[in-house]
């Protein structure tokens, strides 16, 4: 790995940490609100942590997609102007997402163990897989917006929101939308990984055409 590649990877890693800290601030704010709601009740700590666990997985997916949409128009242009290669950007975006998702998963897994809700860990892992998938979607959407303008954003947002809603209903609420039975979580997770691999290929192709703006 060249010195420039290492510097680019470090840049994206730091960005992933920063994005996690921003999201952590949001979790702290929500935690304060829920603490105020449950103030005076028995086991207030357990109730607040349970609320954060119930909300955190969805929040992680949503924020990773939103952050990824900014990459083609902001982060990628910055590192290109510093002389980075398009291949470095491709791996850098992946490093940023992985850093953000792993930090989230460690946080929520620790909370789950703290309130003796180890069954939530599987759900957190599944949400991590979908966060990667929606992050890839976000990067592709970012490239489309960068190329065709913001007018396409409304249509894309509707489609992505509908897809996101279906996924969350199936994973979080257990509604049998796809008739997959007891193995639905495993099947959907595998499908998400395959889609992620395909989208990463698309992103790699798009990065070959990216230019400094």
- For residues 136 and 203, the answer to whether their CB atoms sit within 8 Å is yes
- Cβ density class 125-164: b for 16+ within 10 Å, e for less: ebbbbbbbbbbbbbbbbbbbbbeeeeeeeeebeeebeeeb
Domain spans in the chain, listed from the N-terminal domain onward: 3-207
Phi-psi region of 176 (alpha: psi -120 to 50; beta: other; left: phi over 0): beta
Query: Whole-prediction pTM value?
Result: 0.73
What is the residue-level pLDDT of the chain in tens, covering all 213 positions? 677 788 888 888 998 999 899 889 988 888 888 888 888 777 787 788 888 887 888 888 888 888 888 776 666 677 777 777 777 888 888 899 999 999 999 999 888 888 777 778 888 888 888 888 888 888 888 777 777 766 666 666 666 666 666 665 555 555 454 455 556 566 666 776 777 677 666 666 666 555 444
- The burial of 21, by beta-carbon neighbours within 10 Å (0-12 exposed, 13-18 middle, 19 or more buried), is given as exposed
Q: How far is CA 93 from CA 33, 87, 173, 178, in A?
A: 33, 10, 31, 31
């Amino acid at each position: 790995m060249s010195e420039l590649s290492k510097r680019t990877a470090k840049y994206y890693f730091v960005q992933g940490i920063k994005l996690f800290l921003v999201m952590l601030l949001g979790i702290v704010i929500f935690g304060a609100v829920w603490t105020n709601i449950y103030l005076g009740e028995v086991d207030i700590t357990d109730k607040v942590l349970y609320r954060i666990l119930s909300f955190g997985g969805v929040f992680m997916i949503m924020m990773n997609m939103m952050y990824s949409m900014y990459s083609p128009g902001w982060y990628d242009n910055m590192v290109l102007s510093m002389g980075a290669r398009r291949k470095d950007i491709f791996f850098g975006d992946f490093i940023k997402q992985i850093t953000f998702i792993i930090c989230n998963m460690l946080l929520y897994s620790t909370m789950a163990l703290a309130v003796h809700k180890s069954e939530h860990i599987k759900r957190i892992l599944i949400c991590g897989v979908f966060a990667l998938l929606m992050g890839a979607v976000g990067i592709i959407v970012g490239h489309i917006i960068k190329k065709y303008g913001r007018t396409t954003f409304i249509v894309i947002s509707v489609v992505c929101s509908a897809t996101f809603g279906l996924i969350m209903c199936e994973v979080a609420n257990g509604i049998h939308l796809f008739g997959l039975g007891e193995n639905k979580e495993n099947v959907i997770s595998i499908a998400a990984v395959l889609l992620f691999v395909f989208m990463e290929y698309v992103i790699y192709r798009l990065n070959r055409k990216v230019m400094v703006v």
